[in-house]
Amino acid sequence: MFVAMKRSISWIAVYFMAGIAGCSQTTSAPGNFDPVAAVGASQYENSQKFDIGIGFFRYQLQNGMPLDNGSDIEMAFASNGNPLQVSEAIVNGISLSWVSDASSQFGPPYNIYHKIDSAAYGASDSMTFSYQGFGGESFASTVGIAPSFGKIIFPDTTSAALGCYFRYEHPVPGDSIEVTILYHGPPDDTFPTIQWTIPDTGGFTIKPHQLLYISNGLISYTMAIYRYHWEEVTSTNGKRIGIYSEQDAILALLVKP
């Protein structure tokens, strides 16, 4: 089952509205560095020790195409509890850049490899990664990831009185998705974020009056649909690698009475 560890909906909204992205991961002090926690996936570790953590966050639009700068990739390496630099870290053919504790722009130091690049979006349901120079080892692999939703179909304007149905092309039977909706409006208009976790069946319904609305007008929302996946790989030399992936669909939603 997919387990939620998504980027915050407010961060997603900024990404969607302004076309920028950030990174909020942090790391522990030297000697206690956790590469899987560094890429935001510590909930998958189950007290296991990993040598490498990979986080792959993909963002798509309603038409199934990647959002501008729609792939955020992170890779972290650890040796004896300390962050480690390697000769090269690559995901889907894109070389990642080392971000040291001295050059972090997104909060506390974290010592990871990082890149935001639409060209890294890759295949619908898999990714390739490789590294060189980790204890003399070079390794490459292809793994499954949280797949794209494909095209998402829903009305241009949703009626709060009638509700509506959302349909997407690529369900993953047996798993689940998360639907989160955030209101956009003046600072004095405060409405709660609406959130559901539902079966991944290819569609879902917003029921009448589940959304707030204005009696004489429209409310604009940012809507995000999340899908998650976790993989574990062991390298030729026995390095344990944890790979967390997240597929986010970012939608604009108008609601009328």
| Domain parsing of the chain, residue ranges | 9-146+228-246, 152-225
Continuous H helices in 22-132: 35-38
Whole-number pLDDT of residue 16 = 46
User: Three-state DSSP class for 151?
Assistant: coil
Task: Mention every residue, 6+ apart, whose C-beta is less than 8 A from residue 74.
Answer: 23, 25, 38, 39, 40, 53, 54, 55, 56, 57, 96, 112, 113, 114
Cα–Cα distance measured from residue 70 to residue 20, given in angstroms and rounded to the nearest whole number: 10
Per-residue pLDDT at 26 exceeds 90:
no
Per-residue pLDDT at 100 exceeds 90:
no
Q: Report the range of poorest mean pLDDT among 48-57, 184-193, 198-207.
A: 184-193
Cα–Cα distance measured from residue 225 to residue 200, given in angstroms and rounded to the nearest whole number: 11
Task: Mention every residue, 6+ apart, whose C-beta is less than 8 A from residue 153.
Answer: 166, 167, 168
Please state the separation of Cα 238 from the chain's center in Å: 27
User: Three-state DSSP class for 26?
Assistant: coil
Whole-number pLDDT of residue 98 = 93
Whole-number pLDDT of residue 137 = 96
Cα–Cα distance measured from residue 153 to residue 166, given in angstroms and rounded to the nearest whole number: 6
- CB atoms inside a 10 Å sphere around CB 180: 22
Per-residue pLDDT at 157 exceeds 80:
yes
